[in-house]
Amino acid sequence: MTASTSSHTPVRVTVTGAAGNIAYSLLWRIAAGDVFGPEQPVHLTLLEIPDAVRAAEGTAMELADSALPLLHGVDVRDDQRAAFEGVNAAFLVGAKPRGKGESRSDMLEANGKIFLEQGAAINAGAAEDVRVLVVGNPANTNAYITYKAAGDIPRDRFNALMRLDHNRALSMLGQKLGASPAEFSKVAVWGNHSDTQFPDITYATLRGERLADQVDRDWYTGEFIPRVAKRGGEIIEVRGKSSAASAASAAVDHMRDWVHGTDGRWVTAAVPSASEYGVDEGLVFGYPVVGRDGAWEIVEGLEIDEFQRPRIDANIEALRGEAEVANRLF
Ligand code: NAD
Ligand code: LMR
């Protein structure tokens, strides 16, 4: 699976947590061609824990009933080694969601071990071109655990989902300024998929004009930044459950752009850091990125001012703390 070739051999895609809320939307988008393209057949493997395999089988039955032309086949598994054998793209969704009043990092204890095991299984059997997108929370540190457990695979094949934060930022800006999300350029979300994240408009434009000149500074600092950062909690409060369809949609955006590129457009992805912008090497950090030739390139050479620096640093600090906890799993 590369950006440039349209192969008619099915791409093998594994989705974990296949009986859960996010998967119920994500699987259909993948099978409809929204990620790998309208001519690329897909084979789906649905991974669940034994207690939820029956429910995942029901999901597989519904996929079959949808008669989707690109869907080449569906397997349901509870065995991780089998689930990741030959996989080209993995969406690691299966993990406990937080409830009201919990933070995403509270989930590290419950969820971290899942990613340790799945990283090892991916290492054992994945295809050479594998791409792994971690969605289960705390997503950045779970991606860190996964790539560390998959030591034979280049770490740049492991990402965490921060596209939902990016999309939320675009949507809120659009609502405020009466614009479509597509009219904004160079918006980015730095850091961790947590309340410390920093949605940043320093470099952004709207219809080619500098965005910072068009938004009220107090709204930007007092409302926009915290509301984007806390939107997941707001959804839980209102919906009673964590975001699902919007998370699936963001996962589709992320994997599609990773595979096919962004044509120079900036988006946000959490990727293993090579110390860009002072981030500890190895932390999985949200950066402005461009998709090119089937890989992400972090946008480099940006000047970081005194408003941005402490906000980026707060995320480095938070992820460093999570990594310390995660390192105890090894
Ligand atoms: P859900 O509870 O509806 O579904 C999770 C599923 O995962 C369940 O069916 C469960 O049986 C399964 N599961 C648990 N352990 C597993 C394992 N070891 N292997 C395979 N499957 C396993 O939850 P959901 O709403 O689909 O959310 C899933 C995760 O995604 C949560 O951690 C949530 O916080 C996170 N999330 C992340 C983002 C993001 O932007 N990164 C957005 C929304 C939700
Ligand atoms: C989100 O941002 O919606 C998810 O990470 C779910 C959550 O716990 O907030």
- Assign residue 233 the CATH number of its domain: 3.90.110.10
For residue 105, the model assigns a pLDDT of: 84
Q: Is the CB of 16 under 6 A from ligand 1?
A: yes
Nearest of 236, 230, 157, 239 to residue 193 by alpha carbon: 230
Q: Residue 98: which domain range?
A: 11-160
Whether 201 and 105 map to the same domain: the answer is no
Amino acid (one-letter) located at 106: D
What's the N-to-C CA distance of the chain in angstroms? 31
| Nearest ligand to residue 58 Cα | 1
Whether the per-residue pLDDT at 4 is higher than 80: the answer is: no
Whether 188 and 297 map to the same domain: the answer is yes
For residue 262, the model assigns a pLDDT of: 98
Give long-range contacts, CB 8 A cutoff, 24+ apart: 199-202: 199/165, 199/166, 199/168, 199/169, 199/224, 199/225, 199/228, 199/229, 200/308, 200/311, 201/173, 202/305, 202/307, 202/308
pLDDT band at 7 (very low <50, low <70, confident <90, very high): low
pLDDT band at 1 (very low <50, low <70, confident <90, very high): very low
For residue 110, the model assigns a pLDDT of: 87
Whether 156 and 265 map to the same domain: the answer is no
Last residue of a domain, one of 102, 135, 160: 160
pLDDT band at 297 (very low <50, low <70, confident <90, very high): very high
Whether 194 and 231 map to the same domain: the answer is yes
Mean pLDDT score across all residues of the chain: 96
Summarised one tens digit per residue, pLDDT across range 34-50 is 999 999 999 999 999 99
Q: Is the CB of 242 under 6 A from ligand 2?
A: yes
* Ligand 1, atom nearest to 52 Cα: 11
Summarised one tens digit per residue, pLDDT across range 142-167 is 999 999 999 999 999 999 999 999 99
Whether 135 and 34 map to the same domain: the answer is yes
Whether 16 and 151 map to the same domain: the answer is yes
Decide if 83 contacts 53 (C-beta within 8 A). no
Whether 172 and 319 map to the same domain: the answer is yes
* Residue 75: C-alpha distances to residues 42, 45, 135, 201 (Å): 12, 5, 21, 43
Summarised one tens digit per residue, pLDDT across range 188-237 is 999 999 999 999 999 999 999 999 999 999 999 999 999 999 999 999 99
Whether 69 and 141 map to the same domain: the answer is yes
Decide if 304 is inside a domain. yes
Residue in the structure block whose two tokens are 């979300």:
189
Last residue of a domain, one of 105, 129, 160: 160
Q: Round to whole Å and give the CA distance between 218 and 22.
A: 35
Whether 83 and 214 map to the same domain: the answer is no
Decide if 232 is inside a domain. yes
Q: Is the CB of 189 under 6 A from ligand 1?
A: no
For residue 6, the model assigns a pLDDT of: 47
CA of 74 to the centre of ligand 2 (A): 28
Phi, psi at residue 299, to the nearest 5°? -70, 120
Of 8, 72, 166, 193, the catalytic one is: 193
Whether 190 and 292 map to the same domain: the answer is yes
CA of 24 to the centre of ligand 1 (A): 11
Give long-range contacts, CB 8 A cutoff, 24+ apart: 301-305: 302/203, 302/277, 304/277, 305/202
Residue in the structure block whose two tokens are 């000149």:
213
Q: Is the CB of 92 under 6 A from ligand 1?
A: no
To the query of whether residue 193 is one of the catalytic residues in this protein, the response is: yes
* Residue 207: C-alpha distances to residues 74, 181, 193, 210, 266 (Å): 43, 11, 28, 9, 15
Q: Is the CB of 164 under 6 A from ligand 1?
A: yes
pLDDT band at 8 (very low <50, low <70, confident <90, very high): confident
Residue in the structure block whose two tokens are 């971690």:
134
Whether 201 and 116 map to the same domain: the answer is no
Decide if 221 is inside a domain. yes
Decide if 5 is inside a domain. no
Decide if 82 is inside a domain. yes
CA of 165 to the centre of ligand 2 (A): 9
Q: How many CA atoms lie within 13 A of 189 on its CB side?
A: 28
Decide if 2 is inside a domain. no
Decide if 308 contacts 221 (C-beta within 8 A). no
Decide if 83 contacts 16 (C-beta within 8 A). yes
Decide if 170 contacts 144 (C-beta within 8 A). no
Decide if 3 is inside a domain. no
For residue 99, the model assigns a pLDDT of: 87
Whether the per-residue pLDDT at 3 is higher than 70: the answer is: no
- Give me the CATH number covering residue 114: 3.40.50.720
Whether the per-residue pLDDT at 2 is higher than 80: the answer is: no
Q: Round to whole Å and give the CA distance between 31 and 236.
A: 28
Decide if 222 is inside a domain. yes
Whether 121 and 167 map to the same domain: the answer is no
Task: State the total domains in the chain.
Answer: 2
* Ligand 1, atom nearest to 241 Cα: 25
Whether the per-residue pLDDT at 83 is higher than 80: the answer is: yes
Summarised one tens digit per residue, pLDDT across range 58-72 is 999 999 999 999 999
Summarised one tens digit per residue, pLDDT across range 252-290 is 999 999 999 999 999 999 999 999 999 999 999 999 999
Last residue of a domain, one of 160, 179, 210: 160
Whether the per-residue pLDDT at 25 is higher than 50: the answer is: yes
